[in-house]
Structure 1
Amino acid sequence: MTPSRFLRSALAGLLLAAGTAGAVPTASVPEFSDWPAGTAPAEVGRRVAENFAARSFQWQTDPKRRYVIYPEICAWYGALTVAGLSGDTALRDRLYAKYDVLLTPEGAARVSPDAHVDYRIFGVVPLEFQVQGRGDAWRAIGLTYADAQWGNPVIADGVSPEARWWIDDMYMLPILQVQAYRASRQAKYLDRAALTMAAYLDKLQQPNGLFLHAPDSPFYWGRGNGWVAAGMAELLRDLPADHPHHARILAGYRAMMAALLPVQGTDGLWKQLVDKPESWGETSATGMFTFALVTGVKSGWLNAKDYAPAARRAWLALVAHLDDDANLAEVCVGTDKARKTTKSDDLKVQYDFYQARPRRSGDLHGQAPVLWTASALLR
């Protein structure tokens, strides 16, 4: 056993000794109630969901954009869950209606047929339509994407041939399969997601609990780690405690959450480079970590005394970065690994690349996790 594998195994054993507690009602977590004016999850979730509902798809406004892209799906899913949990049927119906243009010949051509995780995730939205009771026809559409993703599994490990062994995959692959389970209640979809997550954890989680952007870009990039945190939380919401991979995934999740606590900024945000205190506070990663923390506290996987205050600080920091139109500021733009972009092995060059990434307001990479977190607080 390698040293890093030994450390991970030892940490997993310690974490599992804590066991898995039962679900914790929101009312019993003081940090998740009594919100200051304008910061309550229902109000904030509605504002950010309305912001998304009013948008055109990017392919309708940007001639360079060919297809519906994954941040749109992530925000759409989050907006739908906010509408469903808050009982806002008018908002939900507008979010349903956004699909209408995709039923036209022009719109249908804007849904990518490519076998790629960033495009297959499209199936999450029709599956959520079915989860919210819109009809079984939507389940059939969504399951087409989930099943195609596993059409020819890699024989060696059984994961999807779309696996790239990038940390982003740890959200993109499981969320589609978990949604397929939620819509169909067929255990095979959870089995796929769990097998994949366990394999990725064994291969990519570092001894400190975090995840490098890539082996040749050895930095703990915020949003990359955020995808992992959100993906594990989504899967654990549905994965039975007696599932063969549950213990491994819960241990990986707890190790990551423990690593995040000491590096949260005093302003409530996590950093663009998670372990670099001099780095800037980045909101999309913060939103994803907050979703994972809230879900963990409310599900009983995390100690509320230790983790709920951090989640509350983060939520209030996120809300403080929303403008009057519910656009979230300080969102890092789309970012490939530093080595690929800079073509340099010099770690100072790579560090400067991450630090200098442009920041946007209203980017859907940031809007989506605010919606996920609002939903987690409403559940």
Structure 2
Amino acid sequence: MATTALALLFLSPLCPAKDHFEALPEKASPEVVGRKLSARFVASPHMFWTEFGTLHYAEVATWYGALNFAALTKDAKLKQQLVDRFEPFFGAEEKFIPPVTHVDHSVFGVVPLELYRQTGQVKYRVMGLAFADGQWDRPDSEGLSNQARYWIDDMYMITALQVQAWRATGDRKYLDRTAKQMVKYLARLQQPNGLFFHAPDVPFYWGRGNGWMAAGMTELLRALPANHPERPKILQGYRSMMASLKRYQSDSGMWLQLIDRPESWAETSSTAMFTFAMITGVKNGWLDESYGPVARKAWLALVDYINEDGDVREVCAGTATKNDVQHYLDRPRIVGDFHGQAPMLWSVAALLRPAGLLMPAE
């Protein structure tokens, strides 16, 4: 199993243990929430792309969250269930593996790479690296992935995969190229207020799109060495975004479907992504103490959106770009969609993960 670059686990000056995430009510305990959501995932059918018939990226993101929870809690039974769920992709379900042709498909590689890290089985590494390397097949003239489309969603899909490839191999090229890509996206899409348009020609601050960006920066900052040349720019972009989110948090603790539009509705997937990003930032000293109560308030609000079945409510449906504000305000609100289940599990992991720990406990 890859253990390269362990010296880089602690990448920034760490603050003392934070009390913002302690003494949580029972229903908000990360262990309780994580068990409930992971059990729901294990019992759920696959989520497929309607038009392609292959596994959907939202399931990949949820699977990754459940694997992190299993590792952090040393839950061998859950880990085996998650391994067993994947085994058919080497046989009867091989037809459901996405092609390495698009950011939303390529992110599939995150799961086998995490399975490799947790089991040491080389077959997972081979499969996962095929996606990570395929994402940089025929790079553009600037050395960036030809899968880039400059939607903010990309900077989770690309970043998560490349960071996982680095975690599995220790090869610096995976960090270098995704950091370069992130800086390019920051320059093109981040606005003066720290938030992001969904795309250059779509001037709306869509919640989950911004959430993907927040989560991508967070995963990358957990991995980048303190002396990496791109780290200051990425950290600056992250802090600028978090400062804006702090201002826009609603009184309930939630963030809205369109972050700056008070007429829009409280949306769970974006709130969970921002919560994951803030918890991680506070624990690692990237954010000051004032963000601790913000993240705690958001987490306590979120747990009330989990129903008895372990399904998260008020999740925005998958959303393509459109230069029409009503398009975003009228998006369907779904119960139990993996877009919402996934970041709740990431937040669980952030609450459980010790400060500075790059990888879940093996």
TM-score computed with the length of structure 1 as normaliser:
0.88
Does the aligned pair in 2 maintain the 1:58–1:65 contact within 8 Å?
no
Does the aligned pair in 1 maintain the 2:100–2:134 contact within 8 Å?
no
Q: Does 1:138 align with 2:124?
A: yes
Matched AA of 1:186: D
CA–CA separation in structure 2 for the residues paired with 1:141 and 1:351: 40
Which of 39, 49, 54 in structure 2 is aligned with 1:50? 39
Q: Give the drift of 1:23.
A: 2.4
Cα distance per residue 1:288-330 (max 9 Å; x no partner): 00000011111110012x1010100111111110001110000
CA–CA separation in structure 2 for the residues paired with 1:134 and 1:77: 16
Q: Give the drift of 1:64.
A: 6.0
Does the aligned pair in 1 maintain the 2:150–2:200 contact within 8 Å?
no
What SS does structure 1 have at the residue aligned with 2:243? helix
CA–CA separation in structure 1 for the residues paired with 2:50 and 2:248: 40
Q: Give the drift of 1:215.
A: 3.0
Computed over aligned residues only, the root mean square deviation of the Cα atoms, in angstroms, reads 1.4
- Give 2:61's aligned residue: 74
Which of 226, 229, 237 in structure 2 is aligned with 1:241? 226
Which of 349, 357, 370 in structure 1 is aligned with 2:331? 357
CA–CA separation in structure 2 for the residues paired with 1:249 and 1:114: 27
What are the residue-to-residue correspondences of 1:138-157 with 2, within 5 Å? 138-155=124-141, 157=142
Task: Please identify which structure carries the higher helix content.
Answer: 1
Q: Give the drift of 1:278.
A: 2.3
Matched AA of 1:174: T
Which of 342, 345, 349 in structure 2 is aligned with 1:371? 345
Q: Does 1:320 align with 2:304?
A: yes
CA–CA separation in structure 1 for the residues paired with 2:126 and 2:285: 33
CA–CA separation in structure 1 for the residues paired with 2:257 and 2:239: 21
- Give 2:276's aligned residue: 291
CA–CA separation in structure 2 for the residues paired with 1:134 and 1:187: 20
TM-score computed with the length of structure 2 as normaliser:
0.92
Q: Does 1:83 align with 2:70?
A: yes
What are the residue-to-residue correspondences of 1:163-312 with 2, within 5 Å? 163-304=148-289, 306-312=290-296
CA–CA separation in structure 2 for the residues paired with 1:49 and 1:251: 34
CA–CA separation in structure 1 for the residues paired with 2:222 and 2:58: 22
Matched AA of 1:102: F
Between structure 1 and structure 2, the one with the greater Rg is: 1
CA–CA separation in structure 2 for the residues paired with 1:249 and 1:56: 37
Q: Give the drift of 1:241.
A: 1.2
Q: Does 1:100 align with 2:74?
A: no
Which of 93, 115, 120 in structure 1 is aligned with 2:106? 120
What SS does structure 1 have at the residue aligned with 2:26? coil
What SS does structure 2 have at the residue aligned with 1:240? coil
Counting aligned pairs with the same residue, the percent is 50
User: Does the C-alpha gap of structure 1 residues 53 and 134 become closer, same or farther in structure 2, counting only changes over 3 Å?
Assistant: farther
Question: Where does the alignment leave 5 or more consecutive residues of structure 2 unmatched?
Answer: 1-10, 354-362
- How many residue pairs get matched? 343
CA–CA separation in structure 2 for the residues paired with 1:203 and 1:67: 31
CA–CA separation in structure 2 for the residues paired with 1:252 and 1:95: 34
CA–CA separation in structure 1 for the residues paired with 2:51 and 2:230: 42
Q: Give the drift of 1:112.
A: 1.7
Q: Give the drift of 1:63.
A: 7.3
Q: Which stretch of structure 1 is more off in the superposition, 111-120 or 187-196?
A: 111-120
What SS does structure 2 have at the residue aligned with 1:266? coil
Cα distance per residue 1:219-251 (max 9 Å; x no partner): 100000000000000000010111110010000
Q: Give the drift of 1:332.
A: 0.5
CA–CA separation in structure 2 for the residues paired with 1:310 and 1:277: 18
CA–CA separation in structure 2 for the residues paired with 1:72 and 1:260: 26
Q: Give the drift of 1:352.
A: 1.9
Matched AA of 1:195: K
Q: Give the drift of 1:337.
A: 1.4
Cα distance per residue 1:251-305 (max 9 Å; x no partner): 000000001001001111100000112211000000100000011111110012x
